Every structure is written in structure tokens, then in C-alpha cells.
A and B are shown apart, each in its own frame.
Chain A
Amino acid sequence: MNKTLFFEINNYILGIKLNEINEVLENKNIQPIPLAPPFVVGVLPRRGKFLTIINLLAHPLKDISPDARILVLEHKEIDIGILVSKIRQVISTPITLPANQNTGFPLIHNDEKKCLCHHLIRMEEGIPFLDLEKLFTYLKKVWF
């Protein structure tokens, strides 16, 4: 049985396989980076290393609450953290979300350099999952 962590970014809910997450951190001590792309929130010192934190939307996270968390992901030896509004829950999948939940990921901006577009997700049995391969491919294309 696969376990999926559901998280919220503003009003949108996405899933990610639990085994794709290294760690979940509190949203604190993030420090901005000069000359970094707009979707880079900053860098967080973590056990002698420095973790880059990114925002999956083009606009800053609205009303960042104390519930905001950082999901630490690793892909091909590159670590990044994604800032999310809230961690919802971990559920064994597959499941079906209630019909009234907005599960779409917004296409905010046409300028690819300013936003991470909605095609970073993959649909799996009706649930939008954050696709790490697509995410890192995109980041490599626009930044590193």
C-alpha cells in the first residue's frame, strides 16, 4: 500500500508519495538570496548545509500561517525544500477526494521564468501529484 502526503498550497491540494520526502521542516530562518529567480524563497541553514527553498506559485504564499511547512525533497543528489501552506494528512492511496475540493494547480503566469506552471503535476487516479521528475527538469531548465 502506498502512503501519500497531502499538502495545501493556498487553496490547492496536491499529493506527494511519502517516500519522496526526506523531511518536513518548520517555516523559519529562511533567508533570501540575492540574484535568485523569483520562485526561490531563500535558503535555510540545516545541519551544516544550506537548503534552497522554492515557492511553487508565482506569487508569494498568501497569509503565510504558522501551519506553513517545508517539504525537503531530494532528486538525483540535489536537495530542495518546497514551501507549502499546510500539511493535510498522510493517507494510504488510492483514495477519492471530495468533489468540492479544488484540486487544480493554477497556471498563474505565462512567463515561464516567473512561475512554475501547472504541468509539474501528474494525475494519478483523479489525484494531482507533484511530479518530482518534472519539477527538477523544469528547475534545471530555468535555473540550474
Chain B
Amino acid sequence: MNLDKYIQIFFGQVEEYLQEIYQILSTIEREGTKDNLVNQLMSDTHSLKGMARTIGFSGVEELCHGLENVIKRLSSQNQWEANNILPTLIEGFALLEQLVENLKSNSEEKIPYREFLSRLNSLPLFRAQNEFRLISPIDLSPKLKNYTHAQVRTEILDRLLNLISEALVFQNRLRSISKKFNSRELRYLISQLNDLIKELYLQISIARIMPIKILTERLSRLAKNLAKEQNKEIEWMVEGEHLEFDRGVLEALEEPLIHLIRNAVDHGIEKPAEREKKQKPRRGKINLNIARIKESLVLQLEDDGKGIDLELIKEKALKTGIITSEEGKIISREEILKLIFLPNLSTAETVTEISGRGQGMFIVANKIKGLGGSIEVFSQKDQGSKFQITLPLKLYILPAFIVRVGDFLISLPVTKVISSTQVLNQKIFSQNYGEAIMFRNSLIPVYSLHRLLKIESPPLEEKGYLSLIIIEVSKNQTAALIVDNFVGQEEIIIRPLKPPLNHLQAFSGISLLEDGRITFLLDLEALISFSKQINLPYLFPYAG
């Protein structure tokens, strides 16, 4: 793995952390120790240690570890003690700064940090105050020229990204128009403009990168607080929190993860006494594992609680009419688990402040789909549950297949499109639960996008042929969609649906095409579940 980029980011972050650390030390010296200052100091040092460990800078990691032990002494309320620890800390952080400078410049200069650490172990921690110069704010403030990073408000980055996205669309339109003119110079200029805009887009995308730790720290506090409120004990573990992603991805993930954690604590992890009866450790485990696999972000949230009660879900689904009794007889385990992502299917006996209303998992799934991702659930009774979220990292640019339905342009991710074809309308025939067609020796359901989207369609008799697009609705589930015609394929910049558009259940995103027209990214599964045409067996592999 090429760490160069991360090493540069590390150097930048060290500067920021050290700036904050020096300010804290200066404040402690002037105003005395306060819990929040010491906690922040510990947190910053711990973060530096973690980052150094990830990059493989063991010297930095070791030095941070030693400094953490010193900071722990600082949490004493004794100001005299604090004043005598401060010089040691200042010396230590100065050494840290020199060590990082060395690494940055590949210098051979020896930094005596090991000697410093040895002294920490063998000598009294306290030094006489007159051994070191008293710190003044001026001494501690880093030199301006050392700043190689600047903080930019995220709303400014968002706005830049929006403007660049729109510039890209106009650039594409310019290119389309330029085809009418036979000018090599014009084509060249447009090509240069294209490269420039794409580079700007890339640089702004890079500027939006943030460490996922900012999110996981919040989630950690949430999980522990929730458990405490419910008199439950948990052990919270995170793997992969050193990774960094686009701010938009992290923001979008926050709500679904919060909900999943609430569910894990509220409905998953049992109370200690109950766990002991089941011969489980008193403390329940909740693990969050984050990984980057090729072009995807994969998150797994796993608990060792009581698992999802499949029988209860099935019972609720039968009761609410989501499945019929015949369907209930043949439905598989995996299919039952998928039902939890439908609305109004909470099996919670009580609605707590935390969860249980039946909308949460549906909203989670919708949110993930809105980002072009997927969510899966695995669960075993009394062993726990695992949710796996997979998100594409290139959130914004999606190769899309565009179709026309009435006056609307609808997009589908190219990866979901199996085939597009034209068939005689006689090839479609009625089944008990709707219409179907034979495709590659299997019977697959046919849906009219006109009907689902409540758009007027031309009468079937007038058209000898129907335009069909065969798509993968979800794993192992294929369907055919009747559309007016195929418009083409285009790389589109998808924007998530923000309020109030986020209440359009049928769509997971919106985009502007090269010609300035708007297209909506279809979420077929959500659309079908909301339409009156829903016939659940057609979402399952059809045996026949």
C-alpha cells in the first residue's frame, strides 16, 4: 500500500495537533489545570500516537506513549505538581516536533527522545521550576511559516464542489455545441477547459477528505451512553478508524450508523443478568469494522446480542399484510431478514425513546441506497447480528443508463442493468401476481414504469413493440421495466436528494445531464414497495 499520501496528511495533522497542544500547555500554565484541558491534551496526544502507529513511525508512537503517562499525572488538582510537570511535557513535545521534522526532511540528525523516555522512568517526574524557563505564550506559538495547512469551512468546500459540478455540465454542453463548428482551436480549448475543471473537481474532492475517527469517536460516546442509560454493559471496539473518506460520505453515514447502534443497544445486547443466564460474558460486544476494499467503503457493525427473531418478523409481516400466508410458507431465512428494511415492521414490544417505531431500518436502507450503496444483515438467535454497509467511494460520478418515461428521464446505475431489448407486447403475459416475461429461461416480473410512477402511457395496442430494460433489483432478483425508449448512457454527477425532495420514495438521487435536463436515479425496490402493484413473490427468485 502506498503510504506517501497518508504520510503527508500525517505531517499536516501533527502541526495542527501540536499547535493546539502548545496552546493548552500555555493556558494551563496561566490558569491552572482544568479537566477539560487535560482531557483535550490527552486526546490530542493519543490521536498523534494512533496516527503514528498507523503510518509506522514507531519513534513518534513511543514518545507519545511516554507523554501520555506524564499527562495522566497532570490530571491531579494540585497546581504545584502541575507546574512541575509542565516543563517535562514541554520538553517532550519539543522533542516530538523535532522528531517529526526529521522524518519529514529525511534528516539523519539524532533526536534524543529515547534518553528523555528513560529519564521519565528513572528520575522523579518533578523538576524544580527554575530548571526550565517559564513558558510564555510567545515562546510556545509555532512560527507562521511552519503552517502548511489551512482550515477551510466545509460549507465553502460544498459550495465549490457544487459550482464545479455545474461548470462540468456547462462544459459538456459547450462540447456538444462545438461539434456543429469545424474549429480545431475551439475543440482544443474546450478539451483544455475540460481537463482544468476535472482537475479542480479532483482537488476539491481531496480537500473534502476527513478521518473517519471524527465519526467513530462520536459513535463510541453514543454507544456507551446508551448502554449506561439502559443499565447494560458493553465493550465497544473499532477497527479501521485511521481511514479517511469524503466528508459527504461520513455525513451521510452518521445517521444510519447511529440508528444501527441504537438498535444494537436497545434490541440486541441483553442486560448483564440475562447474558449470564445464557452463559455469555456480562459485557456485550459491539464491534465496528471499517475497511476500504478496492473502490468501496465497507462497514460492519456486529454485536453478540440476542439476534433478530425471525419468527417474530414473519408474524408481524403476516399480520400487516406485507406477505400472504402462502408466501409465509415458502419464505426463506434470508428473505425474512430483508423484510426488516421495509417500513412499519418493528417487532419491538415497546417503543422506547431510542427505537422501535418501525421506520428506522427503512430509513437506514434508503439513505444507504441514496448513496449508491447496499446494506445486508446477518443474524443468529442468541448469537448476535451483523450489518454490512457497502458504499462506493466515488460518490458523485456514476455511469448511468438513461431511459425516457413520458416526459421524464430516469437513470439507472449501469452496474444494475443486465440488458435492454425490444419485445412484442404479446410476449408479456399475466400471472396471478402481475405480469411476467421469460428471460434466459427464467420467468421474471415485468413492471410498467409508467404505472409505478403514475405517468400516462400510450395504449399498448398502438405499439407492436415494447422497450424493456432488464435490471438487477437486488441480489438474485431480476425484473423487467417497460419504458418509452432508451436515451443512452452517460456519466452523471449524482446529487443526493435533500429536503424536501428526499421524500420522493422512488428515487435515490438527482442529476443534471449534458443538455441541461434533469434525471432522477431510480430506486426500484423502494418504488415497488410503495406502489399498489407490490406483489412480494416477484421480488424472490421465481421457481418455474
Chain A residues proximal to chain B, CB less than 8 Å: 29, 31-36, 43, 45, 47-50, 52, 77-78, 80, 139, 143-144
Contacts and interface: CB of A to CB of B under 8 A. Distances in A.
Contacts of B454: 34-35
9 contacts: A31-B518, A34-B405, A34-B408, A34-B504, A48-B159, A48-B161, A50-B495, A78-B500, A144-B503
A32 B408 contact: yes
B512 A45 contact: yes
A48 B495 contact: yes
A139 B501 CA distance: 12
Contacts of A33: 501, 504, 520
Interface stretch (B162-170, B284-292, B303-311): B162-170
Nearest to A46: B166
B239 to A, nearest CB: 34
Interface string B494-521: 0100111111111000101000111010
Given A31-B518, A35-B454, A50 B501 contact: yes
Nearest to A144: B500
Contacts of B501: 33, 43, 50, 52
Nearest to A77: B499
Contacts of B517: 31
Nearest to B161: A48
Contact of A35 (B164, B504, B516): B504
A56 B59 CA distance: 66
B234 to A, nearest CB: 34
B455 A34 contact: yes
Contacts of A49: 162, 495, 498
Contacts of A31: 517-518
B510 A35 contact: no
A34 B520 contact: yes
Contacts of A36: 504
Given A32-B408, A34-B408, A48-B163, A143 B503 contact: yes
Nearest to B167: A48
B461 interface: no
A47 to B, nearest CB: 6
B166 A43 contact: no
Contact of B166 (A47, A78, A139): A47
A75 to B, nearest CB: 10
A29 B501 CA distance: 17
A80 B498 CA distance: 11
Contacts of A77: 499
B408 A48 contact: no
B108 interface: no
A80 to B, nearest CB: 7
Contacts of A35: 453-454, 504-506
Given A33-B504, A34-B455, A35-B505, A50 B518 contact: yes
A52 B500 contact: yes
Contacts of A29: 516
A91 B403 CA distance: 48
Contacts of A144: 499-500, 502-503
A78 B503 CA distance: 13
A45 B516 contact: yes
B397 to A, nearest CB: 14
A64 to B, nearest CB: 17
A133 to B, nearest CB: 16
A52 B495 CA distance: 14
Contacts of A78: 499-500
B165 A48 contact: yes
A77 to B, nearest CB: 8
A97 B165 CA distance: 45
Contacts of B164: 48
Contacts of B505: 35
